Amino acid sequence: MTSELIRVNEIFGPTIQGEGALIGQPTVFVRTGGCDYRCTWCDTLHAVDSAYRDEWCPMTPEAILMQIEILSGGRPLMVSLSGGNPAIQPLGDLIDLGRGEGYRFALETQGSLAKDWFSRLDVLTLSPKPPSSGMATDWQKLAECVEAAGPDTQTVLKVVVFDEADYAYARDVAERYPGLSCYLQPGNHTPPQAETSDSSIDMTGILERMRWLVDRVTKDQWYAATVLPQLHTMLWGNLRGV
């Protein structure tokens, strides 16, 4: 099999998934390098900014799966594909190879690019970016992502919320897709800088914004929403590799 190479920023785990639909579940992360977005509050600049391109290793699907198997001890588990925007990488062959060995695959993307191999994922998290990101949503592209995933993939929505405008955006997204579960996540106001190893976070602020979001949702009687913090940030701060 000849495959295109995948640009990999880091492969780590197993640890637990810290957010969204699979929160608490053991997983190995494959973080790809490169992104078509530049969110103001990006928390993975090392996988986004092309200044770090030298750190992104071109790998074959076979080499990535070998690394996953080493980390997991050869025992299949959920593999989380993230980025950057992993949808810009040719991940179809990796998914097929891994599934053949019993691994499952989840992918998170902003929904700016649809791929036919979304339908071979177990879980697709579409995380369109709210106004505070500075990015504009292409609703047609988002619809194409939902369409590409199809009926055999569990597709869910996740929206990061920093403020009221983001909250209104989240409601809009959820109303467009009443059949999809919608996860709300308070934003991290102190994202890591790519150049520093300082992993400290503002725990008081995180808890405060989480309480605000719970209050906002329940006052609004938006009972179909699920509100979850980034557990990994609470447990390990902005430390990488956990």
- The residues that touch a copy of itself, with contacts defined as CB under 8 A, are 13-16, 23-26, 72-73, 75-78, 183, 203, 207, 210-211, 214, 217-218, 221-223, 225-229, 231, 234-236
Spatial strand order in the sheet of 78-82: 57-59, 6-16, 26-32, 78-82, 104-109, 123-126, 154-161, 182-186, 225-227
Check the annotation: does 44 bind a ligand: yes
Is the CB of 27 or the CB of 32 nearer to a copy of itself?
Answer: 27
Is the CB of 2 or the CB of 219 nearer to a copy of itself?
Answer: 219
Is the CB of 35 or the CB of 217 nearer to a copy of itself?
Answer: 217
Is the CB of 8 or the CB of 228 nearer to a copy of itself?
Answer: 228
How many angstroms separate the CA atoms of 155 and 145, rounded? Answer: 9
Check the annotation: does 93 bind a ligand: no
Check the annotation: does 68 bind a ligand: no
How many angstroms separate the CA atoms of 98 and 76, rounded? Answer: 9
Residues 6+ apart with CB under 8 A from 129: 37, 39, 110, 135, 137, 160
Smallest separation, CB 19 to a copy of itself (Å): 10
Smallest separation, CB 135 to a copy of itself (Å): 25
Number of H helices, E strands in the chain: 6, 9
Check the annotation: does 200 bind a ligand: no
Check the annotation: does 129 bind a ligand: yes
- Give the sign of the dihedral formed by CA 30, CA 32, CA 38, CA 44: positive
Known binding-site residue numbers: 16-18, 31, 35, 39, 41-44, 82, 84, 127-129
Known binding-site residue numbers for substrate: 16-18, 31, 82
